[in-house]
Chains A and B, each alone.
Chain A
């Protein structure tokens, strides 16, 4: 039987990602909502979760929050991954209530509190599941100063690099006899190797990289002004025909003096 090409592909798995709260790309009404709208709606649900006390209101809120979650085309398998840590809390909270108030008087408050804790965090989970990092970063740039947002982006950008470094240092140190295997690390006597053979070299590498990154950024006049700037490539004279391309598009001294730097407003493009 022929299928229409516009039909969305069938889900092959109950899970959308490798771990809880991971972003999943779907075409859903929640995905199409703006990041700010999702945050506001999520905050409303969170406040309501903190305020509900009676069974009917709690049930209504469970249905609304669950509807919001499922509207994002997330599955019950995803829901299990996202809330299982909170379910462990419920395993602790309900018996504690039964212990203090007796079984009859403790079950309902324990269930209510456990459900409220899950409902409190679930809108945040939906935000993370349905909002791309790029969109979240774009929103973040409007809220926090650019110098701080630069550091956040650098922090995220260097995660893969330091992950590779960690693997390489670990492999080299294991070859030298360091006890860094997970089962060896179960013995606290081997933690010395973890800190001195793995984390110390990693920190030395971080110091060196911080030097390089900061020098590179400062050579490009980064952080010279209080507001963000960009290089005005259009303002430079055209090169002579047949002339070799210069190594630097703009002399560093002119960049440093701010001659070619323009303040970046919200409508202009970054170069």
Chain B
């Protein structure tokens, strides 16, 4: 088995992303039943969300700058050029929205959620937006990788003819 640096960084990017998504879901569930007793868990989950998304940004950004240009050229020559033109172009900018929301979360959970309906509503909204946008990013990542796979399969099929 051979796992290259590029593979490890890309897998770490996806792993950090899904961890951030699950941590935001954890914040959402804890906030539904916010009490003084679970304030600590909400803080931990919010911090985990922010750190995971920061990790996804660093790994994804490094991979995008150093390894993606070759894959981009491959996708654009393949049968699914929209995997780059639509999905990657949207993903690379939508990610910043998810990141802002993730960095906002540890700030807004400092309000006393158990005694503030307005703060609870805000935290529930931000956590839900992180989950929804993160799932969209994960889905876009799958389409981009499938675009590269189809391009390679087509190239491979041509090579065998």
Partners in one complex: no
Q: Give chain B's interface residues, CB within 8 Å of chain A.
A: none
Q: Which residues of A contact B (CB under 8 A)?
A: none
